[in-house]
Amino acid sequence: MNGLLEQLRAGLPAEALTTDPDVIASYAHDMASFCDAGTPAVVVLPRTVEQVQHVMRTATALRVPVVPQGARTGLSGAANACDDCIVLSLVKMDRILEISPVDRIAVVEPGVINAVLSRAVNEHGLYYPPDPSSWEMCTIGGNIGTASGGLCCVKYGVTAEYVLGLEVVLADGRLLTTGRRTAKGVAGYDLTRLFVGSEGSLGIVVKAVLALKPRPPQQLVLAAEFPSAATACEAICRIMERGHTPSLLELMDRTTVHAVNRMANMGLPDTTEALLLAAFDTPDPSADLAAVAELCTTAGATEVVPAEDAAESEMLLQARRMSLTALETVKSATMIDDVCVPRSKLGAMLEGTAAVAEKYDLTIGVCAHAGDGNTHPVVCFDHTDADESRRARESFDEIMALGLELGGTITGEHGVGVLKKEWLARELGEVSVELHRGIKQAFDPLGLLNPGKVF
């Protein structure tokens, strides 16, 4: 321990290190349930690339594991510490280095908050689309590490589609540059995409070149009430089948709507079994909303209410953004699943999840990025009740199994971390897991980067 601290201090300012037990404890884990976390030896908060390189060289020399972290808003335990590790928090590397309206790129450090970047590029008439529900807190580095998505994925895609290039500090301290800042480029293997979603297991992202889009017109939102999840999913299928491209298509089930109302008095309809939110940011969003309203009515919607202005639209979006937080108030703990299925199987996924809730006698609310089939079943349980905690874990696993049966994936945007390690092999298969481990070995031969995660 003393040798580690001595070597770290040789290349770091005093304020970059902390060994205070209470502070260290606060960096031990992210927001996931049922994920073990160890006690770090030290927390390091670097401000420069050179400082990150010094940390990795020290870690390699002393064979000390390193756990990279962003804002710790993750939901899979990917940022959880292991015993005697160096926690490497990148939150102090929070500069927006460049915004280029001509090249339509932003160059940022990993600690930049998603919402801060979004507002900054908006001032230049540009738009950074990925917007996770935690966008006011989560960092770009964390978004890259987990390949995060957001509410606008149905039209604009996920984080991976906006990362053009990276600077990455490798396990031995070398600095790797990947990708480009040009609109096109196919030189060599796509190492940039390899790091996106790697959860800090291959290297430490210290700079990112991000693609931007022109800022779209202000979107308008429509809310549609349905008497069942099945009729809501039928409407979603019809919307996509007819070729509509909403900027947002989100679903909240009855449990979620009630939780949001209890927490924030939003005035959402308590009588609905499913609430669908659709938005368009086209030149004439009213016309698009009218067409979608007709499809919703035909599918069985009991009421369809288009927002009249941007303020009303934003209120509806706030209700969706606070869904996960609201469900956390139902019981003392939650497990947030992240199963993505083909859109055509969305109804079966919701019906199956309801059956799981009944089987285990649990409250399970579902909110979903319905436009891309990414569901977030939230298992609510009392963590002080051993039997209820057991049922919660079993129901969580059964929901993941259901997703795979329907041709889906165990995670659409939250990542694997600790929580879903056992399920990754089931989804990928033996050959794929072997190749994944070979890639890990090539980048991190000593196994120091975020050990115990993903595999």
Answer yes or no: do 112 and 161 share one domain.
yes
**Pairwise CA distance, residues 139 & 119, whole Å:** 14
pLDDT of res. 344: 95
Answer yes or no: do 14 and 41 share one domain.
yes
Answer yes or no: do 203 and 291 share one domain.
no
**Pairwise CA distance, residues 323 & 259, whole Å:** 7
% of the chain beyond a pLDDT of 90: 91
Answer yes or no: do 199 and 232 share one domain.
no
Is the per-residue pLDDT at 303 higher than 90?
A: yes
CA-CA distances (angstroms) from residue 264 to 85, 87, 183, 253? 40, 36, 43, 17
Answer yes or no: do 204 and 105 share one domain.
yes
Is the per-residue pLDDT at 309 higher than 90?
A: no
**Pairwise CA distance, residues 318 & 316, whole Å:** 5
Strands 42-44 and 86-89, sheet pairing: parallel
Is the per-residue pLDDT at 379 higher than 80?
A: yes
Number of domains in the chain: 3
**Of the residues 144, 179, 214, which one is the last residue of a structural domain?**
214
CATH number of the domain encompassing residue 174: 3.30.465.10
Domain hosting residue 168, numbered range? 96-214
Q: How confident is the model at residue 79 (pLDDT cuts 50, 70, 90)?
A: very high
Task: Note the pLDDT tens digit of each residue in 392-450.
Answer: 999 999 999 999 999 999 999 999 999 999 999 999 999 999 999 999 999 999 999 99
Is the per-residue pLDDT at 1 higher than 80?
A: no
Q: Read off the tokens for 42.
A: 């030290």
Q: What is the mean pLDDT of the chain?
A: 95
Answer yes or no: do 117 and 43 share one domain.
no
* Predicted TM-score (pTM) above 0.85: yes
Q: How confident is the model at residue 271 (pLDDT cuts 50, 70, 90)?
A: confident
CATH number of the domain encompassing residue 44: 3.30.43.10
pLDDT of res. 33: 83
Answer yes or no: do 172 and 223 share one domain.
no
Name the nearest CA neighbour of 203 among 40, 10, 360, 68.
68
Q: How confident is the model at residue 268 (pLDDT cuts 50, 70, 90)?
A: confident
Answer yes or no: do 207 and 248 share one domain.
no
Answer yes or no: do 205 and 268 share one domain.
no
Q: Report yes or no on 302 lying in a domain.
A: yes
| Locus of tokens 């000593």 | 446
Answer yes or no: do 199 and 229 share one domain.
no
Task: Note the pLDDT tens digit of each residue in 169-206.
Answer: 999 999 999 999 999 999 999 999 999 999 999 999 99
Answer yes or no: do 315 and 224 share one domain.
yes
H-run or E-run covering 69: strand 66-69
